Amino acid sequence: MKVIKYSLILFCMCTFISACGSREEEILFEQQTVESEALPAEENKEQERIYVYVCGYVHNPGVVDLPDGSRVVDALEAAGGLTPDGVETYLNLAALVSDGQKLYFPSSTEAEMMEQEANEVASGMININTADVEELSTLPGIGASRAQDIIRYRETNGEYQSIEDIMQVSGIKESLYEKIKDKIRVQ
């Protein structure tokens, strides 16, 4: 009876051990299958490329080839980085780039001018020394022909030195000047 009991215990243990081994092999096989199925998707993601035009104050301006999901800093790096005159703070280096995008890295002087212009546009101020007919026509009481007169005057006499000089233009008197003086500038 003891022999049968030990034989039965031994049989159960062998069955259990062999069953555990096959389950481990099954788990390993499933992991290998999942990993091998994931590789082509990752490889395809690596193959997706975008092209970005990087110019301005960079060492190697031109079109750079980047993986999809790259950022401005990656494009800058691919273009050889900034020249000594280049300003990296004008663009958001953490922003994602897209296929066909153009990135211009300005000099410090250009960056200051661009920021000033952006602030002026936001504030509604118009530079009477650089504005075109369309911009000047947005001023109260200034139509297309009066805007042409303002441009003609500065072309003939040089840049306006102060905003009051606009009253030298034919048809712009004190009353019209009062309407526009808070909306114009000379620099």
- Give the three-class secondary structure for 107: strand
Q: Is residue 115 part of a domain?
A: no
Residues 62 and 103 in one domain: yes
Q: Residue 78 corresponds to which amino acid? A: A
Total of domains in the chain = 3
Range of the domain at 8: 1-47
Residues 33 and 57 in one domain: no
| Residue carrying structure tokens 């092209």 | 51
Q: Is residue 95 part of a domain?
A: yes
Q: Is residue 18 part of a domain?
A: yes
Residues 40 and 74 in one domain: no
CATH code, domain with 160: 1.10.150.320
pLDDT the model gives residue 17: 47
Distances (CA, A) of 41 to 45, 47, 71, 162: 6, 10, 22, 65
Q: Choose one of 109, 134, 159: the last residue of a domain.
A: 109
Tell me the pTM. Answer: 0.47
pLDDT tens, residue by residue, 103-126: 999 999 999 888 877 776 667 789
Q: What is the mean pLDDT of residues 71-87?
A: 96
Residues 4 and 42 in one domain: yes
Q: Which residue would you say has higher pLDDT here, 15 or 180?
A: 180
Q: Is residue 119 part of a domain?
A: no
Q: Is residue 118 part of a domain?
A: no
pLDDT the model gives residue 117: 75
Q: What is the mean pLDDT of residues 90-98?
A: 94
Residue 91 confidence (pLDDT) above 70: yes
Q: Is residue 164 part of a domain?
A: yes
Residues 102 and 92 in one domain: yes
Task: Quote the strand ranges of 48-135, DSSP E.
Answer: 49-56, 62-67, 102-105, 126-127
